[in-house]
Amino acid sequence: MIRTINLKDKIKELSKPWSPIEISQVNDQVVRLALYDGEYPWHKHTDGDELFYVYRGSIVIRVRGHPNITLYEGEIAVMPKGVEHSPKSIEPSFVLMFEPQALKSHGDY
C-alpha cells in the first residue's frame, strides 16, 4: 500500500513551533514539516544540504556571510551544508524540509 500525505491535514497536527514531524522518506532523505513561529537559533548542518519549501506563510533565513533569504509561499531555497543560518517567521508559517535522514545540527539552540 502506497500512502498519500495531505499537507493541509498534516499542518493541523502542528501546534508547537520548531518541532518538525517526519512525513515521508525518499531514498536516504527525509521530508519534515514544521511550524515556524518566532526565531530559531543560529546553527549549521555538517552532514548535508537542507532544502526549505514554504507551504504556507513567509519566512526569513539569516545566513552567516550572505544576504538574508526571504521565502514566500511556494518558494524554495537550499542551504548548503556547513553554512550557519538562523530562520525566523514573518508570520506563523508551515515549512517542508528535505534533508538527509541523519542530519546533525550544531549551534546555539
Interface residues with its own copies (CB under 8 A)? 1-8, 23-27, 29, 31, 48-51, 55, 63, 66-67, 69-72, 74-80, 83, 98-100
Rounded Cα–Cα distance for residues 30 and 98 (Å):
6
Length of the chain: 109
With cell 543560529, the residue in question is: 42
Please check whether residue 98 is in contact with residue 69, taking contact to mean a CB–CB distance below 8 angstroms.
no
Among positive and negative, which fits the CA dihedral 38, 23, 108, 74?
A: negative
Query: Based on CB atoms, which residue is closest to its own copies, 37 or 99?
Result: 99
Residue 90 Cβ, how far from its own copies at the closest point, in Å? 14
Tell me 11's DSSP state. G
